[in-house]
Amino acid sequence: MPTIQHQPLRDFGYALFEAAGVPADQARTATDHLVEANLMGHDSHGMLHAAGYIRGLQSGAIQPVGNQQILRETPVSAVIDANRSFGIVLTYEAMRMAVAKAKEHTLGAVAVHRSSHIGRLGAFPPLAAAEDCIGILMLNGGGRFVAPFGGTERKLPPNPIAISVPTLNGPAMMLDITTSMVAGGKVLVAGSKEQPLPPDWMIDLDGNPVTDPSRFRSNDVAMLPLGGALGYKGYGLSMMIDAIAGGLSWAGCSSEEPTRGGSGYLALAIKIESFIDVADYKKEVQRLIDWVKSSPTMPGVKQIYLPGEIEEERRRKHEAEGITIPEGIWGDLVGIAQELDVAVPAV
C-alpha cells in the first residue's frame, strides 16, 4: 500500500477537485477535511471518498456550494435546502451560521436537507468550541443499513452525533460516534484491505454473524446498532437523532421513502457566556478532565484518553510518518487523475 505525506496528498486533492469544476476555496475545504480524517486515523471518512465525490460532481449529482436556499429563518434558526450542494463544504457554512446566531442570541440551530455526504462529523462542532460555544451536529444519514435492536432487517442509517466543548488547556474535547457498531466506511476499508469483519458487526436475515465485507451492500445483511447484542442504547439514541435531525431538517425521518431522501442534519451552537463566564466553564471542564484522568488504569492501558485525544495523537504520528492508502483506493484516484490530466504525486 502506498504511503504519502499529507501535504502532497492535499495538493493532489486540490488539483483533482479543481479539475472536476470545484472552485479553488471549496476544493481546499473538501480536501483538507478528507486528509484530516486520514491523519486522525479515520480512513473510513478520508480520501476513500474523493473518487466518489468527483464522480458525483462530474455527473451533476453533486453541485459546488452556491445554489442552496434558505427556506425558513428566525434570529436563532434556519432551514436550508442544500440543492445537492457539496456536503462537506456546506456543513462548515451551516455550523458557522449556527455559531453566529448563538453568539448574538445564545442559541443557533441550522437544519439542512438535500445535501451530499458531509464527511466526518467531528470536524464541525470544534468550530463552535473555538468561538467559546458548545457545538453539536446530528445526522439522520449514511445509508439505511442498520437493524433496530431485536431486528434483522435494514431500517436505520448509522445516525451519527458529534459534540465539542472548549477546554482550558489544549484542543477542544470532541466526541464523534455513530449509533451503529461502526460507520459504513469502516466496512469498505476492511474490504479494500481484504480483511474479515469482527463477528459482532453484521448479521444476516436469520441473525447469523456475517464477516465478509463484500456482502455489506447486499440487502440480506444488516449492521447491528451500537452495543451489538446489547445495542438497545445505540438503537434508542439512533431513533432520537433520526426524529430530531430528520424531522427538523425537512429531509424526512427514516422510512422506505423518506420525505426528501433522508440524510438531513442539524448544526447546533450554544453560547457558553449566556450561562456562565467562559473562564469558569473551562475551569469546570478541566476539573472534570483531571478527576477522570486520576483513575488507575486497567492492565495494559497506558493512559485514559479524553474524547478526541486519540485522534490528536494519531494526527501527530501520521504527520510524521505519512498516510497509508489501500491500493484499490489509490488506483481509483490515479485513474481519475489521468482522466483529468492531473499530475500524480510520487509515493
* Structural domain spans, the chain: 1-62+322-347, 66-181+224-274
Percent of the chain with pLDDT over 70: 100
User: What are the CA-CA distances from residue 206 to residues 143, 150, 179, 256 (Å)?
Assistant: 21, 11, 22, 21
Domain at 1-62+322-347: CATH code: 1.10.1530.10
Phi, psi of 167 (to 5 degrees): -125, 165
What pLDDT sits at residue 194? Answer: 87
Q: What is the mean pLDDT of residues 81-85?
A: 96
Look at residue 170 and give its three-state secondary structure. coil
β-sheet bridge partners, residue 137: 162, 267
Among 78-82, 170-174, 182-186, 213-217, where is mean pLDDT lowest? 182-186
Phi, psi of 50 (to 5 degrees): -60, -45
Q: What is the mean pLDDT of residues 221-235?
A: 94
Cα 162 from Cα 177, distance rounded (Å)? 6
pLDDT in tens, 279-298: 999 999 999 999 999 999 99
pTM of the model: 0.94
User: Where residue 170 falls among pLDDT bands split at 50, 70, 90?
Assistant: confident
Asked if residue 318 has pLDDT above 90, the reply is: yes
Question: In 126-152, which positions are buried (b, 16+ CB within 10 angstroms) versus exposed (e)?
Answer: bbbbebbbbbbbbbbbbbbbbbbbebb
Fold of domain 66-181+224-274: Ribosomal Protein S8; Chain: A, domain 1 (3.30.1370)
pLDDT in tens, 187-222: 988 888 889 999 999 999 999 999 999 999 999 999
Percent of the chain with pLDDT over 90: 91
Report the chain's mean pLDDT, rounded to a whole number: 95
